Amino acid sequence: MRPATAGNIPARLIALATLGLVLLMGPLIGLLIRMPWTRLLGDVGDAGTAVRVSVFVSVSATAVAAGLGVPLGWVLARGRFRARAVLRAVILLPIVLPPVVSGVALLASLGRSGPIGSVLGELFGLTLPFTMAGAVVAAAFVALPFVALVSEAGFQGLDRNLEDVAATLGAGPWRRFRRIALPQALPALGAGLVLGWARAIGEFGATITFAGNLSGRTQTLPLAIFFELERDPEAAFSLSLVLVLVSLGVLFTARRAWSR
Amino acid sequence: MRGGLALVAVVLLGTACSGTGERHLIVGAASSMTEVAHRLADSYGLAHIELSVAGSQVLVAQVREGAPLDVVLTADAGTARALVDLGAVAGRPILFARNRLAIAVAAGNPLAISELADLARPGLTVVLAAPEVPAGQYTARLLENAAVSISPSSLEPSVRSVLAKVQLGEADAGIVYQTDLERSGISGVELPDEINPVTEYYAAVLKEASDPGRAEAFVAYLQTPEAAGILREFGFLA
């Protein structure tokens, strides 16, 4: 049933919205027009190493972001403490920070001579810069906010009566989270993971700043595109299109899961 | 609607047309030229120089896509030739300075690195410039000349980010330009002339320069004894 006001969008707003759409779509259309289609498969094949690194790094980063972000989402949704607004702002920060700033911050803290990095090195012999683990940390850092905030929204939307009933039947907080809330929130959590993964696979600035650039170790697809642009621009176009298509596909999937 | 459209138009026009003042040049400079380019512009008496610093290859890509540069200073003959091949250069690129490579290490050289072969030591974290930028190409030539093979931990997007990784203590050593060594937190290890490739800087006036006369005059100034003095002061060979 459509409300009576549906379709009543003023012409001036449609005009401005169209202009906005042109701004968003123009660059993508430009990419499509200048796309060397016949080279697509060959270029992607040549970038196989970067694709493998990207898949491994983004999936690992999403796993880390899920393990830490879902609990954060739960704390935000159910916690009763004053600093919640502050906590939410801190969690949001990586979304609005320029990625290179995230990379500098990671270097400052987790680098070899950083306060946490030096401890990691001394206790576990673990160095993050210039390693694949470092690339995973950089991608997880930027993916975590998406997982945490979408999880929070998912948990907020749950019917709390079920949890209350479970509590009166003697279920403890962990059991209520694990057996009642988690299964119900799964579609939202899935959407959060997909968004986090999309952010992780597109990560560039924090990765090149913190993890460096070495083929087979830390050179992900976006880094490969950056260097390819200087060597063979057409190959950079092919690889960019691949990332655009993958990201579009992911967003559609996430949207479907979201609206279910 | 007129209000909204006008706002969008004003913002776009305002940002696109900023900076068309007198005695003004937009110079694209290889990252190793960052400091000296400002000094050269000052002493030439340009009221204002807008420096767009990037790896030389990025500069070429920017020119190819129509960036509004007047003069480009590249760090090797290959990128200067690429500009000519694009048909973007008015006249010919001019060789105006040379440089050498050196090893950058942590201040005081705690790991006692004394020659290129030391960089092949196992367990050492070495970063190099990526082969896509001139510094990386020169580095490849240097390693070939010395018959040394290094497994780098990272191939950085510019020679300045190699330097930063050493300065921050994330890398034990990196190969940079000799002119890059004058900064806090690092020490330099010089390399013998027999293996050290001479790096060349070219200046090119672009056909699309907004004021070709002024751009050409600036490039001509780069070849004067006064400019050579400034270049030498910053460690360049000129």
Question: How does pLDDT run across A11-36, given as a tens digit for each residue?
Answer: 999 999 999 999 999 988 988 888 88
Report the pLDDT value the prediction gives residue A4, as an integer from 0 to 100.
Answer: 60
Grade residue A93 by pLDDT with cuts at 50, 70 and 90.
very high
Report the pLDDT value the prediction gives residue B20, as an integer from 0 to 100.
Answer: 45
% helix / strand / coil in chain A, to the nearest 5?
80, 0, 20
Which token pair is B13? 């026009």
Disruptive mutation site among B155, B158, B160, B166 for chain A (greatest number of A CBs within 10 Å):
B155
Name which of A69, A200, A79, A204 is nearest A136 in CA terms: A200
The answer to whether the Cβ–Cβ distance between A130 and B58 falls below 8 Å is: no
- Cα–Cα distance between A122 and A112 in angstroms, integer? 10
The answer to whether the Cβ–Cβ distance between A227 and B125 falls below 8 Å is: no
| DSSP SS3 for A254 | helix
Work out the minimum CA distance from A250 to partner chain B, whole angstroms: 30
Q: Which residue of A has its CA nearest to B125?
A: A130
Q: Does A110 touch chain B (CB under 8 A)?
A: no
The answer to whether the Cβ–Cβ distance between A16 and B1 falls below 8 Å is: yes
Disruptive mutation site among B154, B156, B158, B160 for chain A (greatest number of A CBs within 10 Å):
B154
Nearest to A214 among B4, B153, B171 (CB): B153
Reply yes or no on whether the pLDDT at A217 is more than 90.
Answer: yes
CB pairs under 8 A between A and B: 68
- Cα–Cα distance between B120 and B165 in angstroms, integer? 18
Nearest to A218 among B5, B125, B154 (CB): B154
Grade residue A74 by pLDDT with cuts at 50, 70 and 90.
very high
The answer to whether the Cβ–Cβ distance between B57 and A107 falls below 8 Å is: no
The amino acid present at A176, given as its one-letter code, is R
Nearest to A16 among B4, B154, B170 (CB): B4
The answer to whether the Cβ–Cβ distance between A208 and B157 falls below 8 Å is: yes
Whether pTM > 0.90 for this model: the answer is no
- Cα–Cα distance between B88 and B95 in angstroms, integer? 17
Nearest to B169 among A13, A112, A214 (CB): A112
Contact call for residues B216 and B205 (beta carbons, < 8 A): yes
Select the more confidently predicted residue: A141 or A231.
A141
Report the pLDDT value the prediction gives residue B18, as an integer from 0 to 100.
Answer: 47
The answer to whether the Cβ–Cβ distance between B168 and A229 falls below 8 Å is: no
Contact call for residues B182 and B38 (beta carbons, < 8 A): no
Strand bridging mode B89-99 / B199-206:
antiparallel
Other residues' Cβ atoms within 10 Å of the Cβ of residue A58: 25
Reply yes or no on whether the pLDDT at A253 is more than 60.
Answer: yes
Contact call for residues A213 and B157 (beta carbons, < 8 A): yes
Query: Running along chain B, 238 residues long, what does each successive block of 10 average in pLDDT?
Result: 56 51 78 87 78 85 89 92 93 93 94 95 94 92 95 93 93 93 85 93 93 90 94 90
Report the pLDDT value the prediction gives residue B17, as an integer from 0 to 100.
Answer: 46
CB contacts of A127 in chain B (<8 Å) are 125
Going from the C-alpha of A141 to that of each of A110, A179, A188, A219, B193, the distances in angstroms are 12, 28, 20, 17, 45
Q: What is the ipTM of this complex?
A: 0.81
Reply yes or no on whether the pLDDT at A228 is more than 60.
Answer: yes
Phi-psi region of B91 (alpha: psi -120 to 50; beta: other; left: phi over 0): left
What residue spans of B47-158 are helical by DSSP H? 56-64, 77-85, 134-146
Residues A55-72 pLDDT 10s: 999 999 999 999 999 999
Q: Which residue of B has its CA nearest to A129?
A: B170
The answer to whether the Cβ–Cβ distance between B60 and A11 falls below 8 Å is: no
Residues A165-213 pLDDT 10s: 999 999 899 999 999 999 999 998 999 999 999 999 999 999 999 999 9
Put the strands of the sheet holding B48-54 in their side by side order.
B48-54, B24-30, B71-74, B199-206, B89-99
Going from the C-alpha of B27 to that of each of A71, A81, B67, the distances in angstroms are 51, 54, 11
